């Protein structure tokens, strides 16, 4: 490990692994796989955008370390997260005679990571899998924790498996080519970690948000490292989300409902989570669970990051009904992650009447209540 390199360990007994964070790491992928003792062929799963930018460096490094490589290019965007593309990857692995010891390496954002991870989990009942995430969302969230999967036509992430990677290699330099909207969206998840677990980190984000937006290296590396540390500690306590891991869904009860109502075309995930966190903190304030200062500080930070904070025009009943599909519905009651203070959340039931009253207030303060979701926001490019 070089002096500049950060290492976060995900402690899961025999499934433990390291997350390495360092600028320029992309050029060392081959050497890092060798250090881990991974042998055999390596299939690099990526998409056309990322392939053009980063596959040459990764393939060069793998070949220099003596690996036989194969590149599998899947389409850009969420549509690649389908069983059809899992099947295409498996076909390619069979044709190229991949076997138990072969490696699947995901080079790209959360879409490529979720898809490749799922293919790795089922090919010959599971082969080693390495994550090389290139978006902020994937560097602070999706590459860590082993949730893999694809979408079903009737719902997002409905088909999947827990399959932990053997290694996560994060090169923050890749964020330099990421469209600004995607970078900002990733900041929502970073803010989420401060809110659920670490007030000091939240205060750091308040001080350094302008630097993060300018991609200042020390701020970016600290934000990624601290986010990964928090996610790693939560996952180590509750790998399969039976309890503690649910805190990672802060902002997601309202956020997922908004994404779904906009048919995943109006808000990108981080934007929906930002609105979700602001609304869920507002609800916690309404319930007397947290002081107004918490709601105000979080809203300010979300705005500072350039993230949206207001509900788009949705009808209350549509939002409420969509929220009922949340994984945290138990015995007919909707449970939501709500802040008590910055750095601490609880999981508490939400009553329809409370949400309705809060929602009506948002309408009076300029949020939408009357029209359909998706009418006001630009489509994802
Ligand atoms: P994404 O993978 O679609 O990437 C966003 C866009 O950035 C794409 O157009 C991609 O081609 C482009 N891109 C990627 N890296 C780039 C780079 N360095 N430079 C330029 N362009 C680049 O989106 P995402 O936000 O990374 O991930 C979203 C997906 O992750 C969703 O499917 C979501 O369900 C999933 N997710 C999974 C988990 C998990 O725990 N498994 C957690 C959060 C999100
Ligand atoms: N992104 C939420 C989780 O990994 O549990």
Per-residue pLDDT tens digits for 203-240: 999 999 999 999 999 999 999 999 999 999 999 999 99
| C-beta 248 within 6 A of ligand 2 | yes
More confident residue, 53 or 367: 53
Statement: residue 41 has pLDDT above 90: yes
pLDDT at 373: 37
- pLDDT above 70 covers a percentage of the chain that reads 94
Q: Within a 10 A sphere around the Cβ of 323, how many other Cβ atoms?
A: 21
3-class SS of residue 121: helix
Burial zone of 171 (CB within 10 Å; 0-12 exposed, 13-18 middle, 19+ buried): buried
In this structure, is the dihedral angle defined by the CA atoms of residues 74, 53, 208 and 167, taken in order, positive or negative?
positive
For 130-180, how does the pLDDT look when each residue is reduced to its tens digit (9 = 90+)? 999 999 999 999 999 999 999 988 778 889 999 999 999 999 999 999 999
The yes-or-no answer on residue 269 being catalytic is yes
For 272-301, how does the pLDDT look when each residue is reduced to its tens digit (9 = 90+)? 999 999 999 999 999 999 999 999 999 999
pLDDT at 94: 98
DSSP one-letter string for 147-187: EEEEEETTEEEEEEEE---SEEEE-GGGGGGS-HHHHHHHH
Any residues with CB less than 8 A from the CB of 188 and at least 6 apart, and which? 251, 270, 271, 273, 274, 277, 302, 305, 307
Distance, in Å, from the CA atom of 379 to the CA atom of 381, rounded to the nearest integer, reads 6
Statement: residue 184 has pLDDT above 90: yes
First to last CA, the chain: 39
* Ligand located closest to 172 CA: 1
The yes-or-no answer on residue 249 being catalytic is yes
pLDDT at 3: 55
For the ranges 77-86, 328-337, 361-370, the maximum mean pLDDT occurs at 77-86
pLDDT at 219: 98
| C-beta 178 within 6 A of ligand 1 | yes
For 242-258, how does the pLDDT look when each residue is reduced to its tens digit (9 = 90+)? 999 999 999 999 999 99
In the chain, where are the structural domains located?
A: 6-177, 180-364
CA dist 122 → 45, 160, 210 (Å) = 15, 10, 43
Query: From the candidates 41, 246, 256, 297, which is the catalytic residue?
Result: 256
| C-beta 137 within 6 A of ligand 2 | no
The correct answer on CATH 3.40.50.2300 for the domain covering 6-177 is no
**Superfamily per CATH, domain 180-364:** Dehydroquinate synthase-like - alpha domain (1.20.1090.10)
pTM over 0.85: yes
Query: From the candidates 22, 269, 271, 297, which is the catalytic residue?
Result: 269
229 DSSP 8-state letter: H
What are the structure tokens assigned to 226, written together? 């601290």
pLDDT at 329: 72
Distance, in Å, from the CA atom of 54 to the CA atom of 175, rounded to the nearest integer, reads 12
């Amino acid at each position: 490990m070089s002096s500049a390199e950060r290492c976060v360990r995900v402690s899961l007994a025999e499934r433990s692994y390291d997350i390495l964070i360092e600028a320029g790491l992309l050029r060392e992928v081959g050497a890092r796989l060798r250090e881990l003792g991974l042998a055999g062929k390596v299939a690099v799963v990526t998409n056309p955008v990322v392939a053009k930018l980063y596959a040459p460096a990764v393939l060069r490094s793998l070949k220099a370390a003596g690996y036989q490589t194969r590149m599998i290019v899947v389409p850009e965007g969420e549509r690649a997260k389908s069983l059809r593309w899992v099947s295409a990857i498996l076909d390619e692995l069979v044709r190229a005679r991949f076997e138990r010891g072969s490696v699947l390496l995901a080079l790209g954002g959360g879409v490529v990571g979720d898809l490749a991870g799922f293919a790795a989990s089922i090919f010959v009942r599971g082969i080693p899998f390495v994550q090389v995430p290139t978006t902020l969302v994937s560097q602070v969230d999706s590459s860590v924790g082993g949730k893999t999967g694809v979408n079903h036509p009737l719902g997002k992430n409905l088909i999947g498996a827990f399959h932990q990677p053997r290694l996560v290699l994060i090169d923050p330099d890749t964020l330099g080519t990421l469209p600004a909207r995607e970078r900002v969206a990733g900041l929502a998840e970073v803010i989420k970690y401060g809110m659920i677990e670490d007030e000091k980190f939240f205060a750091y984000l308040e001080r350094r948000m302008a630097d993060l937006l300018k991609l200042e290296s020390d701020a970016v590396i600290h934000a990624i490292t601290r986010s990964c540390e928090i996610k790693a500690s939560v996952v180590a306590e509750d790998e399969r989300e039976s309890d503690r891991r649910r805190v990672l869904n802060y902002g997601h009860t309202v956020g997922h409902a908004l994404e779904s109502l906009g048919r995943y075309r109006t808000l990108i995930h981080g934007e929906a989570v930002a609105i979700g966190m602001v609304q869920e903190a507002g609800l916690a304030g309404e319930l007397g669970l947290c002081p107004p200062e918490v709601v105000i500080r979080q809203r300010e930070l979300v705005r500072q990051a350039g993230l949206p904070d207001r509900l788009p025009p949705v009808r209350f009943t549509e939002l409420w009904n969509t929220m009922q599909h949340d994984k945290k519905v138990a015995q007919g009651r909707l449970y939501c992650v709500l802040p008590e203070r910055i750095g601490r959340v609880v999981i508490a039931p939400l009553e329809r009447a409370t949400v309705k009253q809060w929602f009506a207030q948002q309408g009076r303060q300029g949020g939408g209540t009357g029209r359909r979701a998706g009418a006001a926001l630009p489509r994802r490019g």
